[in-house]
Amino acid sequence: MKVRYTNDIAVIGSGRFGQSVVDQLLKLGKTITLIDKDEENLRSYKEDIENLIIGDAADIKLLKANKLDKIGTIVVAVPENIEIVAALLEIKAQNIIARATSIRHARVLRQIGVETIVSPEYETGKRTALIAANKSFVRYSENLQEIGDDFVIGTTVIQNKSLDNKVLKDIDFNKRGVTLVLIKSKGKSIRPNGLSKIHHNDIVTLIGEIADVNAAFEWLNQND
Amino acid sequence: MKVRYTNDIAVIGSGRFGQSVVDQLLKLGKTITLIDKDEENLRSYKEDIENLIIGDAADIKLLKANKLDKIGTIVVAVPENIEIVAALLEIKAQNIIARATSIRHARVLRQIGVETIVSPEYETGKRTALIAANKSFVRYSENLQEIGDDFVIGTTVIQNKSLDNKVLKDIDFNKRGVTLVLIKSKGKSIRPNGLSKIHHNDIVTLIGEIADVNAAFEWLNQND
């Protein structure tokens, strides 16, 4: 039987970050190959993952023997990974998503040819700094992302009772420099248009520049 | 002279994640207090941060002596942090943002009273799994975030030449189940309205359910 791997995903490394990637992929119903040097780390996945490989992912023989060159996407989740990525590029692996631990590390990965780079510490650090630095974010938003330049997307609960049952076109978020991009009302999310209504306790997602989103949060959370 | 700390930010821990938070806060021009057990870790910040404290942040005496109860926001960036958080709650520290390394850890933090929890591995793991699991995300998006339920926000470059110079209301992203929430054209970002134009090579940010954003990316990136 010839096995085709092209839609499969391999994850290299099962530390905290690798585990988180694997857990999410399992939720998405994906078939996973998981590689780790340490048998102990793999033990908890014995039930859920058929293809567990113990070994050094910088070893080209191991990669070829396990057909990593045929796998659709490979996530390199270990922090010290330049040699592993080099080995994967050597066997002409397809889409590689590699973890970078710093801007310098990301630069090296990009130079050797990795296109998709993720960085848990850097990405969440940026987000955490934004939350820490802006009063209404720390008070009202648990969900805030920078999306380039000074733009952020953030989520808050509407506390301001004067906004209850208002139609969006009558509120004009636009003049406050923000766009309302998602409304979650009674557990259901919708992409709003001008005729959508918002209610007290709805969760709304806004996009705009940092200062404008910050100010809009203050306003949405006013309660007398 | 009485120093008021209320707008300041303290960061506890200067590992990879703590450093990333500090670096971003310095970029935002904030005054920072940085605490770490290890003098070595603090060395690189001697030039940039006035208030460096070497010591155990779970020590209530140390926290009080350094007036941590007067600091506006405290980011607990160390991974093993339950005792530190408990000590901070004990001295009635103001806004605490604590790092969780797993869902279980987050649960404990929430139970002892932390409202704002960040989780580098979990957040970036979720995002990485989404990118790895969806063909057009891995090929076309470097920037993708889940924003609750099945909704994601993602960024891509417009390659489809038939869309060059088109007005948004004539394209109707809405019928594809996505909202275009940001256009970056020639280095400048705008929140679009129906009359905004898109161009070949613009970077656009979409919001919608995973499958719809995935499909829209395929379409925006078609090139003959």
Which of A122, A134, A175 best tests the B interface by mutation, with the highest count of B CBs <10 A? A122
* pLDDT tens column, B191-201: 998 899 999 99
- Across chain B, which distance is largest between two alpha carbons, in Å? 70
Q: What is the mean pLDDT of residues B68-94?
A: 96
Question: Does pLDDT of B2 surpass 60?
Answer: no
Per residue in A184-205, pLDDT (tens digit) is 999 899 999 889 999 999 999 9
Instruction: Using the predicted structure, report yes or no on whether residue A105 has a pLDDT greater than 50.
Output: yes
Question: Is the confidence at residue A1, as pLDDT, over 80?
Answer: no
Q: Which of the four pLDDT bands, split at 50, 70 and 90, describes residue B108?
A: very high
Cα gap B90→A81, rounded to integer Å: 41
Do residues B69 and B163 share a domain?
A: no
Q: Is residue B224 part of a domain?
A: no
Q: Distance from first CA to last CA of chain A, Å, rounded?
A: 70
Partners of B143 in beta bridges: B155
Instruction: Flag whether pLDDT at A144 surpasses 90.
Output: no
Q: Which residue of A has its CA nearest to B132?
A: A73
pLDDT digit string, tens, across residues A66-93? 999 999 999 999 999 999 999 999 999 9
pLDDT at residue B6, as a whole number: 56
Instruction: Tell me the per-residue pLDDT of A158-178, one tens digit each, with 9 for 90 and over.
Output: 999 999 999 999 998 999 999
Look at chain A and report how many structural domains it folds into: 2
Of the partner residues A131, A147, A189, the one whose CB lies closest to the CB of residue B143: A147
For residue A173, the distance in angstroms to the closest alpha carbon of chain B comes to 12
Kindly state the percentage of chain B with pLDDT values over 90: 80
Closest CB from A9, A23, A118 relative to B133:
A9
**Do the strands B188-190 and B178-185 form a parallel or antiparallel pair, or are they unpaired?**
antiparallel
Which DSSP helix (H) or strand (E) runs through A198?
strand A197-198
A108 touches chain B (CB under 8 A): no
Q: Give the structural domain span for A202.
A: 124-219
Q: Is residue A180 part of a domain?
A: yes
Question: Å from A106 to nearest chain B CA?
Answer: 13
Residue B37 has pLDDT above 90, yes or no: yes
A212 lies in a domain? yes
* Shared domain check, B128 and B85: no
CATH of the domain at B213: 3.30.70.1450
How far is residue B158's CA from residue B219's CA, in Å, rounded to a whole number?
9
Mean pLDDT of chain B: 92
ipTM of the complex: 0.90
| Beta-carbon separation of B181 and A17 below 8 A | no
Burial B4-43, CB ≥16 within 10 A → b, else e? ebeebbbbbbbebbbbbbbbbbeeeebbbbbbbbeeebbe
Same domain, A162 and A188: yes
Q: Give per-residue pLDDT as tens, B7-32.
A: 699 999 999 999 999 999 999 899 99
Residues A111 and A173 reside in one and the same domain? no
Domain boundary residue, one of A98, A117, A136: A117
The CATH code of the domain that includes B108 is 3.40.50.720
C-alpha–C-alpha distance, residues B115 and A52, integer Å: 38
**Contact yes or no for A97 and B24 at CB 8 A:** no
**Boundary (domain end) residue, out of B117, B147, B180:** B117
Whether residue B1 is contained in a domain is answered as no
B-interface mutation test, from A8, A19, A23, A24, most B Cβ less than 10 A away: A24
Same domain, A75 and A129: no
Kindly state whether residue B70 falls inside one of the protein's structural domains.
Answer: yes
pTM for this prediction? 0.89
**Residue B191 domain-assigned (yes or no):** yes
Question: Strand (E) positions, A49-126?
Answer: 51-54, 73-76, 95-99, 116-118
Listed residues A117, A140, A173: the one ending a domain? A117
> Residues A135, A212: one domain?
yes
How far CA A79 is from CA of A106, B4, B78, in Å, comes to 11, 40, 17
CA distance B153 to chain A (A): 9
Distance CA B17, CA A109 (A): 19
Question: Is residue A102 a part of any domain in this protein?
Answer: yes
Q: Which residues of B60-80 are buried (b: 16+ CB within 10 A; e: fewer)?
A: eebbeebebebbbbbbbbbbe
Q: Which residue of A has its CA nearest to B143?
A: A147
Q: Quick one: average pLDDT of B138-154?
A: 84
Identify the pLDDT of residue B7.
67
Residue of B97, B121, B155 with shortest CB distance to A16: B121
Q: Is B96 helix (H, G, I), strand (E, B) or coil?
A: strand
Question: Do B147 and B101 reside in the same domain of the chain?
Answer: no
In the chain, the amino acid numbered A163 is: L
| Structural domain includes residue A1 | no
Question: At B61, phi and psi to the nearest 5?
Answer: -60, -45
Q: Do A61 and A160 belong together in one domain?
A: no
Clarify whether residues B157 and B210 are in a common domain. Answer: yes
